[in-house]
Amino acid sequence: MTPMPSPKNPLSEAWTGPHGGVPPFDRIAVRDIQPGLDAAMAETLANVEAIASSLAPPTFENTIEALESSSRTLDRALAIYSVWSSTLRTAEFQAVEVEMEPKLAAFSDRITQNTALFRRIEAVYTSPAKATLVPEQQRLAWLTWENFARAGAKLDDAGKARVAAINVELATLYTRFSQNLLADEEHYVLYLTTEADLAGLPAPLRHGLAAAADRLGHKGEWAVQNSRSSMEPFLTYSDRRDLRERVWRTYYGRGDNGDARDNKALITQMLALRAERARLLGYATHAHWRLETSMARTPEQAMRLMMDVWPAAVGRVREEVAAMQALADKEGGAVRIAPWDYRYYAEKVRTARYDLDMNDVKAYLQLDKLREAMFWVARQLYGLSFTRVDDAPVYHADVTVYAVASKDGSHVGLWYFDPYARDGKTSGAWMSAYRPQEKLAGTISAIVSNNLNFVKAAPGAAVLVSWDDAVTMFHEFGHALHALCSNVTYPSLSGTSVARDYVEFPSQLHENWLATPEVLGRFLVDEDGRPIPSELVEKIQRARAFNQGFAVTEYLSAAILDMKLHLAPAPPTDLAAFERDELARLDMPSEVVMRHRTPQFGHVFSGDGYSAGYYSYLWAEVLDHDAFEAFKEAGGPFDTAVAERLLRAVMSAGNTVDPADAYRAFRGRGPEVSAYLRARGFEASAPV
């Protein structure tokens, strides 16, 4: 009998269908992922070997450009893999992830440590003929050479082997860390069972907690899940101090419970391996290795900026705590402000000082209307329009898809929106690029997604979000716009493929448009369609610098600890003691905790991405406030000339130019920190 041919793996297929081709999410099962990745890696290695072993003299076209096209099947497969690893992390998939992460790390090193390939790359990079290339090609030649050299391409065989072994071990540790964190977020749930447990909680929040409990099999109860989207509103409004403390301790104890999912020992191993790898590659520390190609250039420069801001932030916290303590004393009950009290009493102080209850504002922050607001801003600034489509497959029923068109009606890309929390989905908010814009293989449009973790409302009710969550929506949409506006030739230089401390600049810049009168007046409406009252808008504007001591200190303490961990001469053996002692040296206010405590610091320990780089948000925020002042100076947040300059110099340029040069092309000068300090309500200081 002739055997039946094996069905083609959907991970290996080119994306076909409407809108320039779409991911075949409707045809993918977890069982496809491992064989699909294995086949795609094998194909890529064959393509790379063909480039490396070519007898033709190395040129930009037959080496650098050829590398750009060598992994197209793998790029598609990895896009699908990343969707499952962030949004559909079932037990079945986690087993695949444990197997594939070390394989992927080893695969990457097989390419960057290919001696013959690096010789060809270096020949192109150092050739006099490079001067005849257009600037984008010169940039790509430099970036390719730099990436290989920094990954260990110039090491001897023993050094290469050790770096490769370290990368495989780190990949395994990163997977264990992130799976431990996800398990703690899913397994620790506080169920409220009586009306007394709900004291102080507004009705929409109660409905959301009830819906969560129903989904978790606790109908008739209310579930406070171990995620930021559940924790923050509960700590803000619950009158039950005992329950606030329980929720706070559970959330900030993730990865730190002394059980099988405790992350501290994993982190110590990661730090040791990162330090060893950095030394092998010729760098003093992991931080020096990571920051070499950033805007900051050195960890010392990044630390200087953070420590310049730190005293003002801590000083403001002292003032905020004093105001909260005075209010608590007036209420009686001998409450001494603790970390689980901060949000609760801050909201009371805000109400008293500005006659502003953010729960009143929340009534006008409907998820669907905020999405419309983001679309409107994109149209005003960049001429983009978003139209919902139903002919693109999705990986979950919660996901909706929008086709994006330019001002002249031509297709720009697709935007996938996945707003709700569910089991197996990573907490927090993020943007993903399924396919970068490019022109190398023809006109290829971008495919991106925004992912959030809101709790669904009761049937028929609007999903209401907090002001902070609305800001987050605009932030992540800024990342998506950065990818959608890209107009480059090479995929490696496309969209958000820029320095880590620059990639957050466009996203943080776009946060500013939420609070503009144009957006507030058009899109903040209640469920009956009534617009937010003008007096409430005025209160929001007056209170914009409120509680900034807390906001900056909780973030900045985490960023400073990240840097200190990666600058330490030796990895700490007692991680808890290191965190405690370093925070004490900083004179960290006891009423505030790091936004991400070390055992749960996914930005830093679920991969290399933000390691020694969490400072990037502060660096980018300096850029963003300085950049937004360009609009103010021109007369308004939607000034067409400034928006066109932003599109040309920043949003469409990708990594085709040095980010410092790109910023100067937009602003006409380097960034100044004074705008950031004014926006935060701190004192002005000197330029960055």
Q: Name residue 389's beta-bridge partners.
A: 401
Q: How far apart are CA 334 and CA 90, in angstroms?
A: 46
Q: How far apart are CA 167 and CA 666, in angstroms?
A: 38
Cα 265–chain centre separation: 25
For residues 423-453, one letter each, b for 16 or more C-beta atoms within 10 angstroms of the residue's C-beta and e for the rest, the string is: ebbbbbbebbbbbbbbeeeeebbbbbbbbbb
Cβ–Cβ < 8 Å for 558, 614? yes
Tokens 């257009």 belong to residue = 134
Q: How far apart are CA 527 and CA 363, in angstroms?
A: 8
Q: How far apart are CA 313 and CA 295, in angstroms?
A: 23
Active-site annotation holder among 65, 221, 476, 504: 476
Residue 396 Ramachandran class (φ > 0 left, ψ -120 to 50 alpha, else beta): beta
Q: How far apart are CA 522 and CA 531, in angstroms?
A: 7
- The four Cα atoms 353, 359, 365, 367 give a dihedral, to 10 degrees, of 140
CB atoms within 10 A of CB 110: 15
Indicate the angle between helix axes 72-87 and 91-112, nearest 10 degrees: 140
- For 31-47, the DSSP string reads HHHHHHHHHHHHHHHHH
Cβ–Cβ < 8 Å for 355, 539? yes
Q: How far apart are CA 628 and CA 636, in angstroms?
A: 10
Q: How far apart are CA 83 and CA 85, in angstroms?
A: 6
Residue 487, both tokens: 């107009």
CB atoms within 10 A of CB 2: 4
CB atoms within 10 A of CB 175: 20
Residue type present at position 504: E
Residue 511, both tokens: 């946060």
Q: Name residue 451's beta-bridge partners.
A: 418, 430
Q: How far apart are CA 105 and CA 171, in angstroms?
A: 6
Tokens 């971008």 belong to residue = 446
Sign of CA dihedral 402, 662, 452, 609: positive
Burial class (CB in 10 A: 0-12, 13-18, 19+), 106: middle
Euclidean distance between the first and final Cα of the chain, in Å? 74
Please say if 476 is a catalytic residue. Answer: yes
- The four Cα atoms 530, 533, 539, 540 give a dihedral, to 10 degrees, of 30
> Which is nearest to 510 in space by CA: 638, 615, 412?
638
Indicate the angle between helix axes 299-331 and 548-567, nearest 10 degrees: 140
Q: How far apart are CA 653 and CA 494, in angstroms?
A: 8
Which of the residues are catalytic?
476
